[in-house]
Structures are given as structure tokens and as C-alpha cells.
Structure 1
Amino acid sequence: MSVTAAQKVTTFLMFEGAAEEAMTFYTSLFDDAEVVAVERYGPDEPGPEGSVRHAIFAIAGQQLMCIDSHVHHQFGFTPAISLYVQCENEAEIDRLYAALVEKGEPLMPLGSYGFSAKFGWVNDRFGVSWQLTLPA
């Protein structure tokens, strides 16, 4: 009998030099968030020494991965894929939206759009898209 690990889908964010800054920012926004593991590039490796080769962090029990790509790419993040956060109260959605939109770009300002009590969509300073909702 063969034992294999259960398949798991994990969000993977590729940055070009901002992985640690983004991960630190994201984990600072949520009470139940933490950096789980960080592997860094060492000397004589392809990425800049000390940058993130691979990291795992958790927000609200959901693990995400991130890296600093040492290769420049002609693409970045797109709002077609976003992190969707169901907030517990109005204070939380207001706080998260304000933090994420700072140096970012609002896609849908906080408001009532008919499908939730309050909703906002933003591309943060790193280009990652977030949808924040307050259930009715």
C-alpha cells in the first residue's frame, strides 16, 4: 500500500524583491497571522543574497507562499485573481481597506453594492488584489 500526501491548493505570490516586505505587511494586518517559514538565497545562489527564495505565511488559517523571483518578468499580478476576505465587523473592513489602499489603487471604493452590507476591492502597493466584504 502506497501512502501519498493529500493534494492541497495553496496561493503562491511571486514578487521581484518585495516578498518579505509584502509578507510582513500582510501578517501585520490580521490578528491570526504568522510567518511560518522563510528560506533565503545565500551567497553564490541565483537570487540576491538574503532575499526570499521561498516563504510560507498564514492568514486566518489559510497558508500562502511567496518568493522573490531573481528573473524579471513582463507580467505582474492581475485583479482577475484576488484574495477574498470576509470581515467580521465594520471596523475591521474599514481598517483593512484603509491599510491595503494606502499606496495602492482602489478598484471599488467601500460601499454597499447590493450583495453585501459593505464591500471594497483594492490593488495593494505590491499589486496584489483584495476583495473585502462584510456579510449582510
Structure 2
Amino acid sequence: MPSLNPYLSFRDTARQAMEFYQGVFGGELVVSEFAEYPDMGVEPGEQNLVMHAQLETPDGFVLMGADTPSHMPYEKPAGFSVSVSGDDEAALDGYWNALAADGTVTMPFETPPWGGRFGMLTDKFGIDWMLALNATQG
């Protein structure tokens, strides 16, 4: 069965970002460096950068990321958000608080007109997030 997973691009901070996300969401993180694939054309000083990282969490999230080597064009992520939603308020509060640390809250995690809770932020690595606690059905 196909899956749809966010794949985040970084410039020299993929390892720190993916380890941060592992701290937020838990799970198993597997990291491959460019040094493991010498034919990728990456400069010798960049061999320790992340060629591919994959985080699989106990909740079933899969988040991937990599560094963009200096010989390739890079633009900071823009125009999308990673969205996390569900019914577990305690878990979502924990994710919110961790992702917001040293980040920028653009909309507090509060009750919107449609119920539940909703918030938006940019984390310390420049990734935009939306978190939503599903409204209770009455």
C-alpha cells in the first residue's frame, strides 16, 4: 500500500532537526550519511551530512529529511505545513510544547470557531507545523 510522508530539506541541520523530532515524537531514527555513498558527488567536507534520515514513531508517523549539499540549490521550506491531528489532547499538548520551544507561534493552540483546538507554529529549524485536536462530536 502506498504512503504519503513529509520529506524535509535542510542545509547542514538535518541531523539536529531529525534528532529533535525524535525527541518530540519518539520512535526509531535511522540516519545515512553521504560518506556511505561515495559516488554522490558531495564535497569531502560534507561527507558527514545527512543523505537520508527516516523517523518512524510509535503513533505511526513517518517523517523523512536530508541535508542539501552546497553544490545543489537550496531554498528554505515555504508554502506548506506538516499537520498533526487527533483525539489525544495530552499527546498533542506535548507535541505543541516541544515544537514551539525556541520556535515562533503564529497562531496559539487554542479553541477555534469549529471547536477542538488548533494552532500553527514555525519550529526552530524553520519548518511550519499545524496541530489540531479534533472537535468532539455531540
TM range (shorter): 0.7 to 0.9
**1:24 matches 2:19:** yes
**Contact 1:116 1:133 (C-alpha < 8 Å) held by counterparts:** no
Instruction: Kindly state the Cα deviation for residue 73 of structure 1 after the two structures are TM-superposed.
Output: 4.2
**1:34 matches 2:28:** yes
**1:11 matches 2:6:** yes
**Aligned with 1:126: secondary structure?**
coil
For structure 2, the residue ranges without an aligned partner over 5 or more in a row are none
Name segments (4+ residues, structure 1) moved above 6 Å.
none
Q: Percent identity?
A: 28
Q: 1:27 to 1:7 in 2, by over 3 A?
A: same
Instruction: Kindly state the Cα deviation for residue 99 of structure 1 after the two structures are TM-superposed.
Output: 1.4
Q: Distance in 2 between matches of 1:42 and 1:70?
A: 12
1:46 alignment partner AA = V
Q: Distance in 1 between matches of 2:21 and 2:80?
A: 17
Q: Decide which structure has greater helix share.
A: 2
Alignment of 1:1-136 (within 5 A): 8-31=3-26, 33-35=27-29, 37-42=30-35, 46-47=42-43, 48-59=46-57, 60-71=59-70, 73=73, 75-78=75-78, 80-136=79-135
Q: Distance in 2 between matches of 1:55 and 1:130?
A: 19
Q: Distance in 2 between matches of 1:74 and 1:49?
A: 17
Q: CA RMSD in A?
A: 2.3
Q: Distance in 2 between matches of 1:96 and 1:128?
A: 14
| TM-score with structure 1 setting the length | 0.79
| TM-score with structure 2 setting the length | 0.78
Q: Distance in 2 between matches of 1:108 and 1:119?
A: 8
**Aligned with 2:130: secondary structure?**
strand
For structure 1, the residue ranges without an aligned partner over 5 or more in a row are 1-5
